[in-house]
Structure 1
């Protein structure tokens, strides 16, 4: 007997997002996490444009955008000798209150309704938790550790131990579901239980972002006073003996600092305080809230993303050095890719290839993104300031200017990356028939929208001011771009509706939409990737319907579904 449809192991942002989306799709979930609650130590401080688009799909983007830094606080990236010392370079960014309008005006660079947002996991996780618990079929259990996994032909079971210090009625229980998802982080119990290995680069050494890192969460509102400059979101400091990355968490004095441990050094309370003082460059009071350690220099991807009824997502499937902020965001994209496929498999409309398509699509995406992150880490991690940069006078000014020119170049290269955020494509997926011709280049700093099958559906601001994305359905969407003159075959729609969960038909007759999609009809997946496009609902369309749900020339078993037409 099944206890739920899906077990999720791990209650970080990826697991909670997956639980929230599955819950909205009517899939019953039980999530287990060994922690006592959501994170209390800041991490994952950058939400990519793609992550924000996924948050918009499940209805929480506006709330997330209201959190973190104050609405008028510009999340600049700035580089210093020390915060109270010389400013070397700065990349200006729009404040959150201006971000959406800014994106409208910068649609060539950021063609999205949701530009990046700088907000810590500390604030994101409670919103995701509320979104998950807002679904009656979703249960979240903290202080609950999964200690065993077993699989059968039709189900998977997890043995769960409840923490006796946190739960009065502690004990052990067995939970059985159709599928289990490991979202349990870098040391994933689920991954190890499956015997899945990580492959790639580990232990890469650099001057910075390559070795053991100490992360210190502290309170020091006087930083803004001693800096004497416009506040920033990230402060990269290059003192003569130490480098540090300090990130503003709330704009009111709370910061997280990352410093690379020196060889042979064992951090203690005194050394932590010395490091903070050195990075600030001034004698000011500060309060250490918490500390943690982690290791930079990884670009690792699991050799498999699934085994029978178990799938991996997030850090359980790939490990990043955090330059570019890609690890957490790649995990959210994993979950968005997996959620609709689990729905189709559970509701009985999936073909045999759908489950395997998760690895076929997401493993190349993880390899792509870890490569980008590694390149960003190389670009900043090997930078060393010349001695003259710390000297007063003209020679020092010239040295600082030269270093600043490079750092300004690097800042744009690492942080103005719409191609990384929006350019993931699945042209080689078994769910896609690749179109003729060549796709746009996969470049970090330039995103060229295309409606080729496998790519993210191009975004357009509609004539009424709304986002095209807000017209898409929760399930599959058939976008009709020439609604006034295109012939719509109702029988083809009915057959498609039996095969696709919640097919919505959206008719939009606007020149910009037609230009962006270059086809009369476009089939768009629930994760906003194009499944197919064409000018008639003919045999090619019907073949695409079967292909995108994993069917290989087999008949689709009709299942109760919903065919919705939107105005």
Structure 2
């Protein structure tokens, strides 16, 4: 928890300018941006402080890195993720250990700012893209945001409901370690609580567009010997294309941890239709 605390109004209800629900990359980035503009921010997060995040994110786009540069964390992020010399290539094979069909060369961290000979080079910005998984990205954002004087971080805290009026929002917060309940008064409430957002559902907002783009079973694994079994030059992303099972695998630490995506076939209706050990 950061050292700052919300102010209190005349009724004893703690107040803040903005209450952010969710301390993932989006919520933390918003908190950092607002705090830098002098806005008081309170973040309510279900997880404990520094509890390991999901491995969902694998790549940070150039525009996002530009924002991180403005927020003062780009340099730290550049030093995290894959090892300096690990290729960031995308490779297509008949299987992860099979025949290589083609490869897209992408500069590693050491070469990112000097390599100008490939399809992912010559970025007209001081902050080109960066390969980094969320397990490395989020802790850096968390430490930076929690240290800001205008940010109060409430971990192990659930937003149980909220009421809006003409002047702001009053939210009910429940501590998950003991069940203590408190109310927080905010000028604005922002839902940064993921795809299953409780805030989104509470306000009646709905997704628009295609409901399901693809169905993918994701598995985070540790395989100490896999890197040594891969033919040719290593890569960051491996596409497997064959009649039995298509999918992708991403190098997480460049040594032994991987994120495996099995693309479900049309007849496979459930994520557990695929045997993770057999695929």
The TM-score range, normalised by the shorter chain, is 0.7 to 0.9
Pairing partner for 1:201 from 196, 205, 210: 210
Query: What is the match of residue 6 of structure 2?
Result: none
Q: 1:147 aligns with which of 160, 164, 172?
A: 160
- The residue that corresponds to 1:19 in the other structure is 31
| C-alpha contact (below 8 Å) 1:39/1:121 kept by paired residues | no
* Deviations 1:468-505 (CA, angstroms, capped at 9, x unpaired): xxxxxxxxxxxxxxxxxxxxxxxxxxxxxxxxxxxxxx
Query: C-alpha distance in 2, partners of 1:251/1:54?
Result: 26
Q: Map 1:9-408 to 2 at 5 A.
A: 9-37=21-49, 38-102=51-115, 109-163=122-176, 167=177, 169-204=178-213, 210-211=214-215, 213-262=216-265, 263-264=267-268, 271-275=275-279
1:47-84 superposed Cα distances (whole Å, 9 cap, x missing partner) = 00011111111111111011110011121000111122
**Alpha-carbon shift at residue 267 of structure 1 (Å):** 5.7
**Greater Rg over alpha carbons, structure:** 1
Asked if the contact 2:21/2:159 (under 8 Å) is kept, the reply is yes
- 1:344-394 deviations in Å (ceiling 9; x for gaps): xxxxxxxxxxxxxxxxxxxxxxxxxxxxxxxxxxxxxxxxxxxxxxxxxxx
1:6 is matched with 18
Structure 2: distance between partners of 1:59 and 1:106: 28
Task: Check conservation: 2:98, 2:231, Cα contact below 8 A.
Answer: no
Give the Cα separation in 1 of the matches to 2:93 and 2:43: 43
Q: Which digits, 9 at most, give the CA deviation of each residue in 1:215-255, with x for residues without a partner?
A: 10011132222112111000011233111110000101110
Could you say if the C-alpha distance between residues 96 and 154 of structure 1 is closer, same or farther in structure 2, counting changes exceeding 3 Å?
A: same
Q: How far does residue 121 in structure 1 lie from its aligned partner after superposition?
A: 1.0
Matched position secondary structure for 2:208: strand
Distance 1:66 1:46 in 2: 14
Q: CA deviation at 1:42?
A: 0.9
Decide whether the 8 Å contact of 1:8 with 1:30 is kept in 2: yes
Change (3 A) 1:247 1:108: closer
Counterpart Cα distance in 1 of 2:24 and 2:218: 18
Q: Which has the higher contact order (CA 8 A, sep 6+)?
A: 2
8 Å CA contact 2:105, 2:119 repeated in 1: no
Q: How do residues 516-555 of structure 1 correspond to structure 2 at under 5 angstroms?
A: none
How far did 1:155 drift?
A: 1.8
Offset at 1:260?
A: 2.5
Query: Are the counterparts in 1 of residues 264 and 274 from structure 2 also a CA contact under 8 Å?
Result: no
Which structure is higher in helix share? 1
CA distance in 2, matches of 1:71, 1:65: 10
Structure with greater proportional strand content? 2
Measured after TM superposition, the shift of residue 182 of structure 1 is 1.0
Would you say the 8 A contact 2:106–2:119 is kept in 1? no
Describe the SS at the equivalent of 1:199: coil
**Structure 1 length as normaliser, TM-score?**
0.44
Superposition RMSD on alpha carbons, in Å?
Answer: 2.4
Q: What is the distance in 2 between the residues matched to 1:41 and 1:108?
A: 29
Q: Give the TM-score, by structure 2 length.
A: 0.87
- Secondary structure class of the residue paired with 2:254: coil
Structure 2 gap ranges (5+): 1-8
The 2-side partners of 1:16 and 1:274 are apart by 38
Deviation, 1:268, is: 5.7
